[in-house]
Amino acid sequence: MHLNELIHKHDFEEILYILRRHPVTFIPTIFLFSILLLLPFGVGFILEAANPDIFTENFSRALTILGTSFYFLATLVFFYARFVDYYLDMWIITNHRVIDIKQTGLFARTISEVELRKIQDVQSDVRGVFATFFNYGMVEIQSAGAEVHFNFHDVPDPHRLRRELIELIRKDSAWHAAHPNE
Amino acid sequence: MIAIPLTGFVIAYFILLAILLIFYAIIIYQLVATGTFTSISIVVTIILSAAMVAVLVTTAGYASAINWNDVVTLFGDGTSSIF
């Protein structure tokens, strides 16, 4: 399956933006992953200091090898799952609509969308030291029906995105005004 | 040559390893199914796969240095297989 099929892209539709959270927001996960990878070395050092013979005995060596091996493999898979959670959370903006794809864990995905002409209000928000420094923040979209409320969390350059979204909405509304039957 | 004893914890290790590999396959499937198995995700997949292979090779290396028959004896389980 291609991304076009996932969002059921129309023939006239053109994908303009594929947005994900700013990469800097993934750094805490990388940091946590690094700590988890270093943890067995620290624990091993402490255990060996407490009992120098602990890893020389055959049984404890065998158990340590299998346990540590599983721990490292599980940590790598955990990191991969976190990466997919980050990578598959995305917002797609086309010349016709805005699509919100939300990945929750490995087995849950929510896709919602709103047509550009139905969007009533777009707000951008940059808050915090890191967000200001790395220029990422939230873009909030409110549809005319007041039912659809999209939040683009931690997207890069939210103020520029808001301006470009408003311009797209203006163009789409103008097109629909000129073609009322379409 | 590695002597693998058929004791509980070794079997448990291989069962858990199989579960992890299934999860790994599901994650790759998610990326392929959404059409996002491109650029960054491929690089991350290659790096993590290489790391997993490195862990498995290192495990095999360390495991081969162990006298598994002693471990088997310790568990009172005389059954072992060599492959």
* pLDDT tens, residue by residue, B3-58: 445 567 788 888 999 999 998 998 888 888 877 777 888 899 999 999 999 999 99
Neighboring chain A residues of B48 at a CB cutoff of 8 Å: 76, 79-80
Copy the structure tokens of residue B61: 């290396």
The yes-or-no verdict on residue B80 having pLDDT over 50 is: no
CA A170 to chain centre: 28
Mean pLDDT over each residue of chain A, to the nearest integer? 87
Task: Indicate the DSSP class of residue A103.
Answer: E
Average pLDDT over residues A154-166: 93
Q: Which amino acid is at A61?
A: R
pLDDT, position A177? 83
The yes-or-no verdict on residue A169 having pLDDT over 60 is: yes
Average pLDDT over residues B67-80: 55
pLDDT, position B13? 87
Average pLDDT over residues A8-32: 89
pLDDT, position A109? 82
CA distance A179 to A164: 22
Q: Are A91 and A98 in contact (CB under 8 A)?
A: yes
pLDDT, position B17? 92
- The residue ranking higher by pLDDT, A148 or A45, is A45
Q: Which residue from A minimizes the CA distance to B5?
A: A62
Closest residue to B33, CB basis, from A1, A4, A61 = A1
Q: How confident is the model at residue B81 (pLDDT cuts 50, 70, 90)?
A: very low
The yes-or-no verdict on residue A140 having pLDDT over 80 is: yes
The yes-or-no verdict on residue B82 having pLDDT over 50 is: no
Asked if the Cβ–Cβ distance from A3 to B36 is below 8 Å, we say yes
Asked if the Cβ–Cβ distance from B34 to A88 is below 8 Å, we say yes
Closest residue to B41, CB basis, from A4, A87, A109 = A87
In chain A, the percentage of residues whose pLDDT exceeds 70 is 95
Please choose, from the candidates A56, A15, A151, A116, the residue with its C-alpha nearest in 3D space to the C-alpha of residue B35.
Answer: A15
Asked if the Cβ–Cβ distance from A66 to B24 is below 8 Å, we say no
pTM as predicted: 0.80
B80 CB within 8 Å of a chain A CB: no
Tens of pLDDT along A45-87?
898 888 887 777 777 788 888 899 999 999 999 999 999 889 8
Neighboring chain B residues of A103 at a CB cutoff of 8 Å: 30
Asked if the Cβ–Cβ distance from B48 to A76 is below 8 Å, we say yes
- E strands, chain B, where? 3-5, 80-82
Partnered with residue A99 across adjacent β-strands are: A92, A113
Q: Which residue from A minimizes the CA distance to B55?
A: A69
